[in-house]
Structure 1
Amino acid sequence: MTFSGAFTALVTPFKDGKIDEERFREHIEWQITEGIHGLVPCGTTGESATLTHDEHKEAIRICVEQANKRVPVLAGAGSNNTNEAIHLTQFAKDAGADGVLLISPYYNKPTQEGIYQHFKHIADTINIPMVLYNVPSRTGSNLLPSTVARLHKDIPQIVGIKEATGNLVQVSDLIEQCGDSFTILSGDDFTLLPLLSLGGSGVISVVSNLLPNKMANLCNAWNNGDIATAQKLHFELQPLNRAMFMESNPIPVKTALALQNKMDTDFRLPMVPLAENNLAKLKSVMADAGLL
């Protein structure tokens, strides 16, 4: 299994303190209809940090069922507790996910050897395609290219990485050290085009919650050799890319979806509603993008 193109890091809609299954299914269906290449439930954008284990499993189950093998599902299953990551990975496999997204352990800040052993232990326990997730701004440690290359060499089911450092030198080093058989996905919408130009494979996107067709078409254009169209779409998306990170993700994107009446602005603490001054800015950017 390979993962390439535009994957949406799905927002998790809530209602009355629970997952809003109806809205979640509608959102997934619309994503597929709009041409998205894949789906990622239970990532950062899906507020995985405040989902209970039962809710985490429910979100994966709903996504796998609704996708029904029309597009691949890469289920968020990571944790800073190795045994917990194994538990969630096993559930994702049993539920029928096509692969799992595994964040590098956060808060406890393991060494590179500790990170290696964390992923190795998961892979030794469960056989499913695995995409690593490197986001130092949230984990407090950087998953270095040399460690990633070692993992890919030793563990065939580690097939790729979501790289969210925004550091194109690190992306270049990853591609150089891991080779063509390794999938590099951007974890920052605004670096998708430059990452593709280095040899990357696509993006796990926040903005595609709002514009799945445009994000997918950017990848399609690049893969078809239509660089001019890819560049055009890149610059069209940039204002929205910036707006989605004016406050902590997923506050802006869930607010944007609520402004389109696709779900409620229901956050779980410590996430709070978008500040009023930023709400006005978001509405302006959305209007300019034809989303309001």
Structure 2
Amino acid sequence: MSQIRKAPEGILGFPVAPFNGQGKLDEEALYQNIQFLLDEGLEAIFIACGSGEFHSLSGKEYEQMLEIAVSAAGGKVPVYTGVGGNLSTALEWTQISEDKGADGYLILPPYLIHGEQEGLYQYTKTIIESTDLNAIIYQRDNAVLTLEQIQRLTELEQLVGLKDGIGDMALNISLSYTLGNRLGWLNGMPMAEVTMPAYAPIGFTSYSSAISNYIPHISRMFYEALLNGNVQLVREIYQHVIMPINEIRKQRKGYAVSLIKAGMEIMGLHAKNTARPPIVPVEKEHCRQLENILESAMERFPKKTAAI
């Protein structure tokens, strides 16, 4: 377990929770998903988070996923878990994360309740202080902290990063320009490639990539073109891959998760187009649309042209 107080940088891998025909966690498929991300050079593994259907996992499944991730990563990249929901469960899962050898965790929103800023501060502080693991705040839904509260939390050395999932650019600029390199800045918007051209200039140079689960070389091409100022390549990938996939993602609630599994299935990876309710699988017509986009993307941007 690493004690380096620094958030992961680069393209961050968020494996899915693959389920078999009986609705049980498919451990072999999960291991293959993680190994694929590692082989493709992703800089960190975030297990049992949003893409991993954190909301639907039992405690046993959570432990299984974490054990598989730590084993697969083998210390080559940091492993972060998702913790959140009601405070008691969050604290149980931070302890599991520490016991199983994770490097840190991403703090997801508390269940249902909309708290005042002081309540959100206390919720987040309690989780961060519960272990010595690195912690990353996730700004989204009913858990959006102000600059003042985050400044208070930076007194805790375990806090290493902030992931934004709401898209309030005025707040993001205020945060990144005020706190500077005290925290790592992660873009956590749905299909983060869509918004990276706006985030990168203000210091959010890391992001969670859904498409890396099935076309990681294109995400890498996009990322490097963006940071290197290759505007033409960024525009081409945007036009032919990112925006068309994003248009499908917006068609149904829950596609931010299930569309990843559909993409993996289309690309011949070990995943089924299944998800636990309330998330629904991707509809057949949308699967056909995604298949056409991916076929065209592989022709335009073959893997051999990716900069690894």
Do 2:273 and 2:282's aligned partners in 1 also have CA atoms closer than 8 Å? no
How far off its partner does 1:233 sit? Answer: 7.1
* Counterpart code for 1:175: S
Alignment of 1:182-193 (within 5 A): 182-188=183-189, 189=192, 190-193=194-197
2:219 to 211, 215, 221: 215
Could you tell me how far 1:157 is from its partner in structure 2?
A: 1.0
- 1:31 is matched with 37
1:4 and 2:9 equivalent?
yes
Whole-angstrom distance in 2 between the partners of 1:4 and 1:245: 27
C-alpha distance in 1 between matches for 2:39 and 2:225: 18
Per-residue CA distance 1:25-80 (angstroms, 9 max, x = gap) = 1111111111111111111111111110110111111111101111111111222x
Q: Show CA shifts across 1:197-240 (max 9, x none).
A: 111131022121122233244444555x4544773576253333
- Conserved in 2, the CA contact under 8 Å of 1:219 and 1:230? no
**CA shift at 1:151, angstroms?**
1.2
For these two proteins, the number of residue pairs brought into alignment is 286
Q: TM-score, normalised by structure 2?
A: 0.85
Q: Secondary structure at the match of 1:179?
A: helix
How do 1:59-208 and structure 2 match up within 5 A? Answer: 59-79=65-85, 81-136=86-141, 140-152=142-154, 154-188=155-189, 189=192, 190-208=194-212
CA displacement, residues 178-207 of structure 1 (integer Å, 9 cap, x when unaligned): 222211100121112321111113102212
Task: State the SS of the aligned residue for 2:81.
Answer: strand
Q: 1:53 aligns with which of 38, 52, 59?
A: 59
Q: Which amino acid aligns with 1:182?
A: L
In the aligned structure 1, how far is the partner of 2:81 from the partner of 2:45? 8
Alpha-carbon offset, residue 91 of structure 1: 0.9
CA displacement at 1:287 relative to structure 2? 2.3
| Structure 2: stretches of 5+ with no match in the other structure | 303-308
Q: Which moved more, 1:155-164 or 1:205-214?
A: 205-214
CA–CA distance in structure 2, aligned partners of residues 118 and 214 of structure 1: 38
- Answer yes or no: is the 8 Å Cα contact 2:121–2:145 preserved in 1: no
Show the counterpart of 2:242: 237
The one-letter code matched in structure 2 to 1:237 is: I
CA distance change for structure 1 residues 39 and 25 in 2, over 3 Å: closer, same or farther?
A: same
Single out whichever of 141-150 and 63-72 deviates more from structure 2: 141-150
Cα distance in 1 between the residues matched to 2:60 and 2:122: 27
Q: CA RMSD in A?
A: 2.2
Task: Assess, with a 3 A threshold, how the Cα gap between structure 1 residues 203 and 242 changes in structure 2: closer, same or farther.
Answer: farther
Gaps of 5+ in 1: none
SS at match of 2:298: coil
SS state at 1:14 partner: coil
| Among 224, 227, 246, the residue aligned to 2:251 | 246
Give the TM-score normalised by structure 1.
Answer: 0.89
